[in-house]
DNA sequence: ATGAAAGTTTAGCCTCTGCTAAATTTGAAT
DNA sequence: ATTCAAATTTAGCAGAGGCTAAACTTTCAT
């Protein structure tokens, strides 16, 4: 029954693509939140300008995004004040950092150069499932003396 | 000079983020083109409906996207006719397939399950540089008997 | 204490990628 | 040959994520 097989394949495949698409918005949120956490840790306080500068984006874009992040319960802000993360925001940042670190160290262990590891891990990070992350962790355990 | 250091760091980082962002549109184009190639190989001809079904997207969305892909010189189409790839389109599809295959086989070799390997490779594929791809290739050469 | 610089916000615009509903075309069965 | 179902296209909408320019706060020096 080729029709049935076709449908099944399509369903499987579309699920994967759908996941990839839905990842994209979460990805951006995670990037913002992680970056804000980094900035707060570095200088005690995060201003919109810092975020805009590091993300390579206009101030207005950051403002708009922060509104969305506020709605998602990840950041808090009062007008004209620096940005703060909620508990959930910190949690997300922490999770992201761990993930990022594993992926980056994994690429290095695989023999990839520092610069490339840094760049690629940024892109790959958000598409790695827990299962794959675990496999990378095992590899690191085996291959780091 | 902390100000200088800050600026440098911001520039490096923003470049990475900018790359990630600009990747997204290319990514989608690549997904469409690869999928069209697969469908043509499988059934000789690719219709918009097949693409929509497998991508998990509405027909109208496919139509609109095909227009963009046509402008990019990747596909050709006459109204109400099946979709064709240009030479450039086939080239992109072939490149993507090879990349995809390496990433997927790499994940499998790393000990990731089939289902996860399929899904994660779909997401990761577009964020892997040539250098990382080569490193994955080396790993495969070492670890497949 | 005030005025300029730095930072933030608003307003209004754009493109991309999606959607539904309605029109149109094609192709196949009667 | 006609009709009808399936496929395609058009029209119009939405939301995310960008931008610039202009308005508005805050902060800091003088």
**pLDDT tens digits, B45-66:** 999 999 999 999 999 999 999 9
| Residue A7 confidence (pLDDT) | 67
Most A CBs within 10 Å, among B5, B7, B56, B125, to test the A interface: B56
Length of chain A: 145
Residue with smallest Cα–C1' gap to C16: B25
What is the per-residue pLDDT for B119?
Answer: 92
Pair B19, A119: CB distance under 8 Å: yes
Domain ranges of chain B: 22-143
Spatial contact of A89 and A97, defined as CB atoms under 8 Å apart: no
Q: Does residue B6 register a pLDDT over 80?
A: no
- Which of chain B's residues have a Cβ under 8 Å away from the Cβ of A57? 14, 17
- Please give the Cα distance from B113 to B134 (Å, whole number): 22
Could you tell me the pLDDT band of residue B7, with boundaries at 50, 70 and 90?
low
Q: How confident is the model at residue A6 (pLDDT cuts 50, 70, 90)?
A: low
pLDDT given at position B2:
46
CA distance B61 to B64: 5
Partner A contacted by B109 (CB < 8 A)? no
Residue A16 CB lies within 7 Å of the nucleic strand C = no
The domain over range B22-143 is classified in CATH as 1.10.10.10? yes
Determine the CATH number of domain A87-145. Answer: 1.10.60.10
CATH number of A1-85: 1.10.10.10
């Amino acid at each position: 029954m080729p029709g049935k097989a076709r449908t099944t394949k399509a369903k499987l495949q579309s699920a994967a693509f759908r996941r990839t698409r839905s990842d994209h918005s979460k990805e951006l949120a995670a990037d913002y939140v992680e970056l804000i956490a980094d900035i707060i840790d570095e200088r005690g306080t995060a201003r919109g300008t810092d975020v805009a500068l590091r993300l390579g984006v206009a101030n207005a874009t950051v403002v708009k995004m922060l509104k969305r992040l506020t709605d998602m319960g990840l950041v808090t802000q009062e007008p004209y004040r620096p940005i703060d993360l909620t508990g959930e925001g910190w949690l997300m940042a922490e999770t992201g950092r761990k993930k990022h670190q594993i992926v980056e160290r994994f690429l290095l262990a695989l023999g990839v150069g520092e610069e490339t590891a840094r760049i690629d891990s940024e892109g790959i990070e958000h598409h790695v499932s827990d299962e794959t992350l675990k496999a990378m962790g095992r590899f690191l355990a085996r291959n780091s003396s």
